[in-house]
């Protein structure tokens, strides 16, 4: 299953390996026009890494390493022109995305994994009526994002191929999406959503979150490190994996019963349910081929 998923995703987005190469660095410095508790930076990458670091400042400092590969000089020049960093400024939210070919970015109705966060993302099908032919580029490309943001804001970051999502020193809410790569979240403190298909999910909290969290990977392990004294309700589910923990105060809860209607009434028993400490926010952990490690730092 792992090989099949990786093959399909790569074929949709990435072309063959090319000979001519162009590399450049794009830099931008941005600031929120409207400053409030809901300030957020959202990054939508396609091919490459996304690395975000929180710091004690009020500006968003963006560096993107852009690489284009093509078989001819003409195709290389076309890639250099078409491939750009897109910026959408919503006053209190700043979105960074990849502009390439006729690929359109914006508010989308369809719900799908990869390149989408909170209803925003790429329209892989439309391309001004040209369909998938628009995605068959004459060049290959990669964009590697390195960004510094105010540490108290919310951050949502995603990539699809040939890259990892790495976030550190973020105190607000965190959302991280990947498909063919890992997720690494360090020194975080807020409610967290982290999901990938082929890769590990590693999390390390400087302060235990006070809101719902969800960690998911299809092919990989989940490693979650919390501060001593975690209080949460944990739901764990895996097809080929187990949950391991060093937490002493862990109580098994009755499994959740989900009711569905169709040909009569059907009931589905949910996964393993636990109460950690005094209980609290929901910590939802799911893998398919991989283990989950839930730990308190000693």
* Alpha helices, DSSP H, located in 134-213: none
Q: What is the DSSP letter of 47?
A: B
Pick from 293, 177, 171: nearest CA to 236:
293
Cβ within 8 Å of residue 171, ≥6 positions away: 54, 151, 152, 188, 189, 190, 207
pLDDT in the model for residue 258? 59
Cα→Cα distances 224→22, 148, 174, 283, Å: 39, 24, 14, 11
79 and 143 Cβ atoms separated by less than 8 Å: no
pLDDT in the model for residue 11? 34
* Spans in the chain with pLDDT lower than 70: 1-19, 108-118, 124-135, 255-271
Cα→Cα distances 186→53, 234, 257, Å: 10, 21, 34
pLDDT in the model for residue 82? 94
pLDDT in the model for residue 14? 41
pLDDT in the model for residue 15? 42
pLDDT in the model for residue 250? 85
pLDDT in the model for residue 12? 37
Pick from 252, 189, 194, 180: nearest CA to 222:
194
- The helix (H) or strand (E) run that includes residue 75 is helix 73-82
Alpha-carbon span 115 to 167, nearest angstrom:
17
Question: What are the boundaries of each domain within the chain?
Answer: 2-161
70 and 76 Cβ atoms separated by less than 8 Å: yes
pLDDT in the model for residue 104? 78
pLDDT in the model for residue 107? 78
| CA-based end-to-end distance of the chain | 37
pLDDT in the model for residue 125? 61
Each residue's pLDDT tens digit, 15-31: 444 469 999 999 999 99
Cα→Cα distances 207→85, 179, 292, Å: 34, 27, 20
Q: What is the DSSP letter of 74?
A: H
pLDDT in the model for residue 28? 97
Alpha-carbon span 24 to 256, nearest angstrom:
53
């Amino acid at each position: 299953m792992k090989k099949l998923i990786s093959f399909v995703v790569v074929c949709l987005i990435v072309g063959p390996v090319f000979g001519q190469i162009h590399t450049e660095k794009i830099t931008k410095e941005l600031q929120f026009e409207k400053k409030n508790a809901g300030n957020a930076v959202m990054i939508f990458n396609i091919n490459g890494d996304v690395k975000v670091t929180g710091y004690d400042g009020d500006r968003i400092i963006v560096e993107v390493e852009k690489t284009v590969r093509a078989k001819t000089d003409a195709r290389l020049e076309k890639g250099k022109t078409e491939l750009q960093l897109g910026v959408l400024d919503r006053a209190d939210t700043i979105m960074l995305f990849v502009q390439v070919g006729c690929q359109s970015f914006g508010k989308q109705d369809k719900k799908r994994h990869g390149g989408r966060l909170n209803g925003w993302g790429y329209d892989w099908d439309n391309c001004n009526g040209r369909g998938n032919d628009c995605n068959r580029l004459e060049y290959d490309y990669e964009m590697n994002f390195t960004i510094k943001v105010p540490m108290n804001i919310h951050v949502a970051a995603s990539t699809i191929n040939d890259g990892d999502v790495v976030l550190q020193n973020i105190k607000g809410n965190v959302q991280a999406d990947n498909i063919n790569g890992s997720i690494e979240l360090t020194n975080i403190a807020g409610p967290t959503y982290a999901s990938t298909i082929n890769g590990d999910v590693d999390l390390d909290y400087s302060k235990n979150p006070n809101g719902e969290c969800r960690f998911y990977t299809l092919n990989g392990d989940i490693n979650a490190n919390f501060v001593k004294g975690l209080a949460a309700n944990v739901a764990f589910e895996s097809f080929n994996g187990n949950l391991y923990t060093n937490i002493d105060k862990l109580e098994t809860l009755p499994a959740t019963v989900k009711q569905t209607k169709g040909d009569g009434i059907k009931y589905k028993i949910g996964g393993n349910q636990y109460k950690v400490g005094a209980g609290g926010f929901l910590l939802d952990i799911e893998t398919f081929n991989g283990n989950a490690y839930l730990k308190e730092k000693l």
